[in-house]
Every structure is written in C-alpha cells, then in structure tokens.
C-alpha cells in the first residue's frame, strides 16, 4: 500500500471514529432516568395504577395469593403477568426524531395512558404510553417531567405495546363465576324456574350432606351422598366466556326483569354468597340443520352475576350445575 492510500485510509477511519464519538455523546446527553422505562425486579411491584385522558382508571394491587382490581374484583392473573413481563422487558428502540418531537408530545398530551408503578408501597416509575409508530413495530412513550419522547419496544416482539396498558375494567376482571373448594362450600340452592318441583337446596359440613326441597325446605332423607359430593365439587372452577359488549344496555335491562331459567346461589363458610342467574340467549338469525331459525342459542346463554353484570357463558361449562333434585335420588 503506497503512502497516499495509507493516508486516505487513516482519514476515513478518523471520520468514522468522530461520528461514533458524536453519536455516543448525543445519546449520553439524555439522562438515563428519562429513558429508563424497565423495572428490574417485578417481584417487588405491589401496585400499578393506569389512567387515560378520559379519566378511565385501573388499580391493580398485589395480595398474598392474587391481584385485586379496583379494590373490588379479582384481576386476571394472565393479563397481570403479561403486564409485569412487559415492564421488565421494555426497552428504548430509538429517540423520536427532533423534527417529529413536537407532534408526538402533543399527541401524548391528548391521548395516552399514565402508568404509575409502586414497589413496597413507594412509587418508583411514572411514564405515559401513547400510540404505535407508523409501522406498528414500536410504541411512543415518555417519562414524566421529560421533554424527550422515545420509541420503545420489546426485543423479539413485532408489534406495539399500547393495548397491554388497557384502562377498560372488564378486560382485567377474572372470568370467574365460582371458584369454591368443597371444604369452603357450605350450601348451594338451585332454583329451576321451568320445573319448580326440581328445585333443591344442598348443604355440606365436615363431609356430611343434607338435601332439601326448595323453597319448602323439606328434608329428603334417601339420596346418594356420593352424587351430592360430586355435584358440589363442580363449583371448584366455573368461568364465563366473555364480557358482553355487543348488546344494548336497554335490552339487557329487559332481560334482567324477565324470569331466568336457573338461579344458583352458593354460600361459603365465611358467610359470603355468589349468585348466578341464567337467561336464554336468542338465536338471532341462526338456523338449524333443517334451515329453520333457532329460537334460543343452544351453545351460549346470558349469565347475570350477583345482580351486577351480564356476561356470556357456555352451556358446555355450566350444564353439570343445571340439574334437579331427582339427580341425587338413589336408583
């Protein structure tokens, strides 16, 4: 290599070195705490508060064995796990280009979700989650009190993260109707509104069972206790399928004021009760095998939980509970 080419190569290397140094300095001018979104130890996170610009909010609090939603409901553990994993793995992909910063900051001011993260009762991080980038492979976010928005991502995940910070309460609720072990279940009352003579009340304590007619509450002495035990064990896990979003509230109010098909009330040893009411769901245009319109949906029904909220539930899941007292009689 002649001297001329050597000098040229050295010059190119020097230019590259200068560019690297400048880029490094530019990156380091942004304080770490203003681009540090990740939570290193999510096991210490005991409270998460989310609130959007429409003032819809979600409060998640850790207890000894589950997370509580808005101080009232059991939260969906799978979604909480996803949120915690997101908080652990989230990383800055790149700063927002200077030319776009003003527009992104305005966008975040109008539409974003504020995220507050607590560890051992102390607030450790606050940031705002905005919408996706144009290619949907990044999410705009900004730390509180910062003027530098960033595009963030999770390494290996192709998509945006905004939906993981939802402020819709129903999305966070555990889909549990009954989750009662036999040892905690004291009494079950089943009202069959189509065949009232089949209604019954079944009580249990210390592996002792009693069966009564309902509402007369006359004791039925000859019945199969093994069948009774098997029935009560069905209450260990019964979940609804999804929250109702596609039915007008006025229609649901009219359903609520109509007679249900079944009413099942479970009472626990601690005095708490859970009640479900089952209502027929119309076929709404579904046809049977012969092309005739189906009056009632054969797969799903409306379930009113504790007289508070309507959800969809599947007969496949709840059919084992829809029985009459004749089920327990000895053959």
Pick from 239, 270, 266: nearest CA to 76: 239
> Domain range spanning residue 61?
33-172
**What is the C-alpha to C-alpha distance for residues 139 and 157, in angstroms, rounded to an integer?**
12
Q: What is the pLDDT along the chain (331 residues), one digit of tens a residue?
A: 565 555 666 665 665 665 554 444 444 455 665 668 999 999 999 999 999 999 999 999 999 989 999 998 999 999 999 999 999 999 999 999 999 999 999 999 999 999 999 999 999 999 999 999 999 999 999 999 888 999 999 999 999 999 999 999 999 999 999 999 999 999 999 999 999 999 999 999 888 999 999 999 999 989 999 999 999 999 999 999 999 988 888 889 999 889 999 999 999 999 999 999 999 998 877 776 777 788 889 999 999 999 988 999 999 999 999 999 999 987 7
Residues 164 and 208 in one domain: no
CA distance 77 to 91: 23
How many structural domains does the chain have? 2
d(CA 141, CA 50): 14
> Alpha-carbon Rg of the chain, whole angstroms?
29
- Longest Cα–Cα distance of the chain, Å, equals 110
Domain boundary, last residue among 134, 157, 172: 172
Confirm if 303 and 328 have CB atoms less than 8 A apart.
no
DSSP string, 185-251: EEEEEEEESSSGGG-EEEEEETTEEEEEETTT--EE-S--HHHHHHHHHGGG-EE-SEE--SS-HHH
256: exposed, middle or buried (C-beta count within 10 Å: 0-12, 13-18, 19+)?
middle
Q: Which residues contact 273 (CB under 8 A, 6 or more apart)?
A: 265, 266, 267
Q: Is residue 153 part of a domain?
A: yes
**Residue closest to 251 by CA, chosen among 285, 279, 288:** 279
Domain limit, last residue, from 172, 197, 218: 172
Same domain, 165 and 183: no
Same domain, 143 and 236: no
CA neighbours within 13 Å on the CB side: how many for 326? 5
Q: Are residues 190 and 165 in the same domain?
A: no
CB 49 within 8 A of CB 139: no
């Amino acid at each position: 290599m002649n001297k001329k080419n050597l000098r040229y190569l050295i010059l190119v290397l020097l230019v590259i070195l200068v560019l690297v140094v400048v880029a490094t300095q530019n990156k380091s001018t942004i304080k770490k705490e203003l681009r540090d979104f990740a939570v290193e130890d999510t096991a210490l996170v005991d409270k998460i508060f989310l609130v959007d610009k429409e003032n819809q909010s979600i409060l998640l609090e850790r207890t000894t064995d589950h997370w509580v939603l808005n101080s009232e409901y059991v939260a969906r553990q799978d979604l909480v796990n996803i949120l915690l994993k997101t908080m652990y793995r989230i990383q800055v992909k790149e700063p927002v280009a200077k030319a776009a910063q003003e527009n992104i900051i305005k966008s975040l001011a109008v539409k974003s979700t504020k995220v507050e993260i607590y560890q051992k009762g102390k607030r450790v991080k606050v940031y705002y989650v905005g919408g996706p980038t144009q290619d949907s492979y990044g999410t705009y976010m900004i730390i509180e009190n910062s003027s530098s928005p960033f595009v963030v991502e999770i390494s290996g995940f192709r998509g945006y993260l905004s939906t993981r910070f939802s402020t819709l309460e129903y999305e966070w609720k555990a889909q549990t109707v009954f989750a009662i072990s036999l040892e905690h279940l004291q009494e079950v009352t089943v009202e069959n509104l189509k065949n009232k003579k089949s209604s019954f009340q079944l009580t249990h304590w210390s592996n002792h069972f009693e069966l009564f007619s309902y509402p007369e509450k006359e004791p039925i002495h000859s019945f199969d206790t093994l069948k009774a035990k098997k029935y009560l064990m069905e209450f260990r896990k019964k979940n609804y399928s999804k929250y109702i979003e596609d039915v007008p509230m006025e229609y649901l109010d009219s359903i609520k004021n109509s007679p249900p098909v079944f009413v099942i009330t479970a009472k626990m040893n601690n005095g708490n009760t859970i009640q479900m009411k089952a209502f027929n769901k119309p076929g709404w245009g579904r046809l049977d095998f012969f092309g005739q319109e189906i009056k009632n949906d054969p797969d799903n029904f409306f379930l009113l939980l504790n007289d508070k909220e309507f959800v969809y539930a599947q007969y496949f899941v709840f059919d084992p509970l829809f029985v009459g007292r004749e089920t327990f009689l000895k053959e």
